[in-house]
Homo-oligomer: A and B are copies of this chain.
Amino acid sequence: MKDHVYKLIELTGTSPLSIEDAVTNAIKRANRSVKRLCWFEVVETRGNIDKGKVQHWQVTIKVGFAIDD
């Protein structure tokens, strides 16, 4: 059986809606340039504030994908 090797890249997704939506946006974008995404880990959750309201959730994740061949 083959021993897989994976690469992890770090992305910050943003969304005015929620933490989950910011993560989803980052993964959607990663999926356009990398195939075979396998898992992610949340590294940091931040946001910017405008006029006393959260304007964007900024969630940094590591995304892992197979680079076997």
Instruction: Name A residues whose Cβ lies closer than 8 Å to a Cβ of B.
Output: 1, 3-16, 18-32, 37-42, 44-49, 52-54, 56-57, 60, 62-64, 67-69
A31 to B32, CA, bound (A): 23
A67 touches B27 (CB 8 A): no
Whether B40 and A15, one on each chain, are in contact in the complex, defined by CB atoms closer than 8 angstroms, is no
Instruction: Report copies per complex.
Output: 12
Contact B31 A40 (CB under 8 A): no
Complex: A30 Cα to B68 Cα, angstroms? 10
Is there an interface contact between A12 and B5, defined as CB atoms closer than 8 Å?
Answer: yes
CB distance from A64 to the nearest CB of B (A): 6
Residues of B within 8 A of A21 (CB): 3
